[in-house]
Chains A and B, each alone.
Chain A
Amino acid sequence: MTTPAAELVGVSQRFGSFTAVDSIDLRIPRGRLTTLLGPSGCGKTTTLRMLAGYATPTSGRILIDGQDATRTPPEKRDLGMVFQSYALFPHLTVADNVAYGLTMRKVPAPERRRRAAEALELVGLGHLGDRKPKQLSGGQQQRVALARAVAIRPRLLLLDEPLSNLDARLRVQMRAEIRRIQSETGLTVVLVTHDQDEALEMSDEMVLMRAGKVVQTGAPRDVFPAPADRFVAEFLGYENFLTLADGREAAVRPEHLCVVPADTPLDGQADGAVVLDAVVRDVAYRGVDVLVTCEATDPAGTTVRLVADHRADHTAAGAGPAPAAGDRVRLLAPTARLAPLTAEPATEGIS
């Protein structure tokens, strides 16, 4: 088995009495894109900064390429970092910004220029080398920051909330762009984000963090349908929680709850689904769908507030019009869509 590109062993970071990162173990797989995902204050940025060498762990060890780098200063780590603010040098041209790391490595001028040009080409800004950063748009600055980090052929490419300062459309474009650059260069990438969609779309491997601890790791396809606990479930957009007949807690997404009138015969629909009696409390029309808030009785007999995302094409047996407040309905939750939660509920700390 190959050594991971980087490894954190029992790493903690304390600031006075506040523990930002609490004894985490983490392996960053080589040549993949790993995201550190969590709400603000969960320790993901601190973890990234410790990887980069801008913060020294209070305890624990950091290995890069299998070698201890816990106390190695950032300039000796050979890592490429893209800051949330991009941190482009305002007094240097775009080309000189990208070449900065190569200048520090005493790469001869002709090769330096060639490699800087290559890196700018990679991000599609080959023609803007002579500009100053101020003359570029936010999206272009972001690409320059990326090119600058990639130009040194880093052992790890670290991205701190790289897309948070871009507008929504550009953000979605850049997700694909970062993935493309990752696969073209084969770099190991660690990306910090608080946006679950971003993490789901971009990651090979997701690391979910909460209050300085790692709560769940895995590929998006494995993590998304099976959140480890209520915190992860809520963070990934599961809004409904209910207790099953066997006492286990389960989460279900609003779009997987199907609303049918209470007086319609169920036919075969209830097969493989949990059926709940409910009363509609609120109906919110949202164009493509209708959000139906209900008060339901779950299999354990407790009253829970459930939100169903009602679409015409959801209800197999004659969709019919959306229910109105006060209607008695049945909610169908397909067993396959119920995500059983193993850990204790933990609702605080979501931003």
Chain B
Amino acid sequence: MSRGLKLRHPVAGTLAVAGYVIMIVPILFVVATAFTAGSTLRFPPEGLSLKWFGEALAYSPFMEAVVSSLELAVLATALALVLGVPVTLAIHRGRLPGKGLLEGLFLSPLVVPELVVGLALYQQLMIGLHLDNFTTLLLGHTALLLPYAVRVTGASLALADPALEEAARGLGASPLRAFVTVTLPMLRPGLISAGLLGFVTSFNNVPLSLLLQTRDFRTLPVTMLDYVQQSYDPMVAAASTLVLAATVVVAVVAERTVGFAKIFGGINR
């Protein structure tokens, strides 16, 4: 594809290739330095060893942060889907006025700067309402993931024939049974995609997590950022490489089970 693109549109093709190079090459440097036997974060690595992976896995702040991040990502994703699916149904199947406004509202977290959201949540929820930082983070991340939940599940619902639910009703299904036996199976690819996207987005989020951190609850990216500010050794590279590996595994599983075209087809609509 990139070959054809390059031949037919030389400028766009070159930009695309440059984009990939800029994104991927630095990552390769990080991965390479993670395998160093030396003790500085330098390229080329001084010798080959897995010792920094061992260090990273043994470093308790990282491990605690992984658990925190997973906890937060899983809960926020689940919450975003639970809230987002009814919204999607209302937008695509309901007969309510101002659908466009409603959809825009639920997509707005994509455009509002996260720092502003984080500061607002900090002021209002943590200071104002005295909520603990996990609850505040959970609410913030959920809001952040809502656009994916609404938009991506909406894409699979938009493709499904609205007469399907009517057919189910006509054949004797109550509204709830029609939802469970017909609508939900239609939504399945959208739910999986939105879930994956949401999970990755929450897991990787820095601005919100940075602003709403406390000593007791910190996500992995924030902990790593903190670590890099103090010590510049290859352990961070090893930790990053582990996160990268886990992400690749998730991506491969997603590709094998649902297919990327289906997953990301949802966002381009």
Distance in angstroms from A96 CB to nearest chain B CB is 10
Most chain B beta carbons < 10 A, residue from A79, A100, A149: A100
**CB <8 Å contact, B170 and A80:** yes
Number of interface residues of B (CB under 8 A): 17
Say yes or no: A104-B161 contact (C-beta < 8 A), given A83-B166, A91-B186: no
CB-contacts of B170-185 with A (<8 A): 170-174, 177, 181-182, 185
Residues of B within 8 A of A112 (CB): none
Tell me if A87 and B172 are in contact (CB < 8 A).
no
Answer yes or no: B6 CB below 8 A from chain A CBs: no
In the complex, the answer to whether A75 meets B161 with C-beta atoms within 8 Å is: no
Judged by a CB distance under 8 angstroms, whether A254 is at the interface is no
The interface bits of chain B over 139-183 (1 if a CB of A lies within 8 angstroms of the residue's CB, else 0) are 000000000000000000000010110111111111001000110
Contact between chains at A148 and B171 (CB < 8 Å): yes
Knowing A83-B167, A87-B161, the reply to whether A101 touches B186 (Cβ < 8 A) is no
Q: Which of A85-117 contact B (CB under 8 A)?
A: 85, 87-91, 100-101, 104-105
Majority DSSP secondary structure for residues of B touching A: helix
Contact B163 A85 (CB under 8 A): yes
Report the minimal beta-carbon distance from A255 to chain B, rounded to whole angstroms.
40
Instruction: Give the distance in Å from the alpha carbon of A53 to the alpha carbon of B170 in the complex.
Output: 8
**A82 to chain B: closest residue by CB:** B167
Instruction: Determine the distance from Cα of A74 to Cα of B170 in the docked complex, in whole angstroms.
Output: 5
Q: Is the CB of B168 within 8 A of A91?
A: no
The reply on A52 being an interface residue by CB < 8 A is: yes
A180 to B4, CA, bound (A): 56
Q: Which chain A residues border B167 with CB–CB below 8 Å?
A: 81, 83, 87-89, 148
What does the 1/0 interface line of A190-230 toward B look like (CB < 8 Å)?
A: 00000000000000000000000000000000000000000
Would A79 and B163 count as touching, CB distance under 8 A? no
CA gap between A111 and B251 in the complex, in Å: 45
Q: How far is the CA of A90 from the CA of B238 in the complex (A)?
A: 46
Q: By the criterion CB–CB under 8 Å, are A52 and B161 in contact?
A: no
Tell me, in angstroms, the Cα distance from A81 to B182 when the chains sit together: 17
Docked CA distance A90–B163 (Å):
12
A contact residues, range: 20 to 34
Whole-angstrom CA separation of A206 from B163 in the bound complex: 26
Residues of A within 8 A of B181 (CB): 100
Cβ–Cβ contact B185 & A75, under 8 A: no
A152 to B171, CA, bound (A): 8
Q: Check A79/B182 contact, CB under 8 A, given A87-B161, A87-B163, A104-B177.
A: no
Contact assessment for B182 and A75 in the assembled complex, using a CB-CB cutoff below 8 Å: no
A87 engages B166 (CB within 8 Å): yes
The reply to whether A75 and B166 contact each other, CB–CB distance below 8 Å, is: no
A89 touches B172 (CB 8 A): no
Instruction: Provide the bound-state CA to CA distance between A330 and B186, in Å.
Output: 66
A152 to B167, CA, bound (A): 13
Please provide the 4 A-B residue pairs with the shortest distance between their CB atoms, ordered closest to farther.
A101-B171, A104-B172, A87-B163, A87-B167
Kindly list 14 other residue pairs between chains A and B, CB separation below 8 angstroms, not including A81-B170, A89-B182. A75-B172, A77-B170, A80-B170, A81-B167, A85-B163, A87-B166, A88-B167, A89-B164, A89-B168, A90-B186, A91-B186, A100-B168, A104-B172, A104-B173
Q: Which A residues form the contact surface with B (CB < 8 A)?
A: 52-54, 73-75, 77-81, 83-85, 87-91, 100-101, 104-105, 148-149, 152
For this complex, 15 residue pairs linking A to B, each with C-beta atoms less than 8 Å apart, are A52-B170, A54-B166, A74-B166, A74-B170, A75-B171, A75-B172, A78-B172, A84-B163, A85-B161, A87-B166, A100-B171, A100-B173, A101-B171, A104-B173, A152-B172
